[in-house]
């Protein structure tokens, strides 16, 4: 994957040379009426894989997540379903990242799951990008499928939103690219056989054909940063959550699609 992203970004360097002088100027924001999901930009033969639950590989994780939600993590502890009715969880994933009062910081959905495990279930935190955490996240995200992304209008999130916006617009790494240089300035253009998407997080966790696996938004960000020759964010770090929060705000009110499928 690293080599693949590096090749893509190397080719993108040529595409961006003509815009190099404009790198210091923030690209115009994409107006809401022009928002496009990555699903809309996929090849027609790939879209049915996401649209049909019987053909969508990500549904395997959703089913595992439903089982984990209903099962206690250890004897004598409560399952997630012991506190949260499935019907009450519809829409929850669309509202993350959110502010956690106990820690005084924003957390993403994966972080909330682990906080619930450690605080209320007497269980250990699940490893980031591990099967069980991906499965629980995919299950909860799937319960919000079709609902608009709606990050909380919480003033306590303002510093994280600002930091996420800064990270999105700041050139990083040895190649000096920013997220905005591709996904605001160049979206819709062709890069080899691929169309550059707007970079909205509507489908995560999603199944990438290139990965042959389900992965989180954090994994995708890590791949991009590595390809840019930048230091990836530490999993669950303040920087990763801030960027995820800004991306959710930037994408709203596009609907949740998880589990998405992408090339």
Any idea which residues carry the catalytic annotation?
A: 224
Q: Are 202 and 254 contacting, i.e. CB atoms less than 8 angstroms apart?
A: yes
Q: Are 188 and 180 contacting, i.e. CB atoms less than 8 angstroms apart?
A: no
In the numeric block, which tokens belong to residue 67?
Answer: 């089982």
- By the 10 Å C-beta count (0-12 exposed, 13-18 middle, 19+ buried), 161 is classed as buried
Residue 96: closest CA among 117, 110, 80: 110
Q: How many C-beta atoms surround the C-beta of residue 125 within 10 A? A: 14
Q: How many C-beta atoms surround the C-beta of residue 188 within 10 A? A: 12
């Amino acid at each position: 994957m690293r080599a693949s992203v590096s090749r893509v970004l190397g080719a993108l360097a040529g595409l961006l040379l003509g815009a190099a002088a404009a790198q210091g100027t923030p690209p115009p924001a994409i107006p809401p009426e022009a928002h496009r999901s990555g699903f809309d930009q996929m090849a027609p033969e790939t879209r049915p894989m996401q649209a049909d639950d019987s053909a969508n590989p990500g549904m395997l994780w959703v089913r595992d997540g439903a089982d984990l939600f209903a099962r206690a993590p250890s004897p004598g502890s409560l399952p997630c379903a012991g506190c949260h009715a499935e019907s009450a969880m519809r829409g929850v994933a669309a509202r993350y990242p959110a502010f956690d009062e106990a820690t005084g910081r924003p957390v993403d959905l994966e972080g909330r799951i682990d906080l619930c495990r450690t605080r209320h279930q007497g269980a250990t935190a699940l490893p980031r990008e591990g099967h069980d955490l991906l499965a629980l996240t995919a299950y909860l995200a799937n319960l919000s499928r079709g609902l608009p992304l709606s990050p909380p209008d919480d003033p306590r999130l303002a510093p994280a939103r600002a930091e996420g916006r800064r990270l999105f617009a700041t050139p990083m790494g040895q190649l000096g690219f920013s997220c905005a240089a591709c996904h605001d300035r160049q979206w819709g253009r062709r890069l080899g056989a691929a169309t550059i998407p707007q970079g909205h997080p509507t489908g995560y966790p999603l199944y990438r054909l290139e990965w042959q696996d389900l992965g989180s938004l954090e994994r995708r960000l890590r791949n991009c940063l590595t390809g840019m020759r930048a230091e990836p964010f530490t999993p669950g770090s303040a920087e990763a959550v801030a960027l995820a929060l800004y991306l959710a705000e930037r994408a709203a009110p596009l609907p949740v699609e998880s589990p998405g499928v992408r090339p």
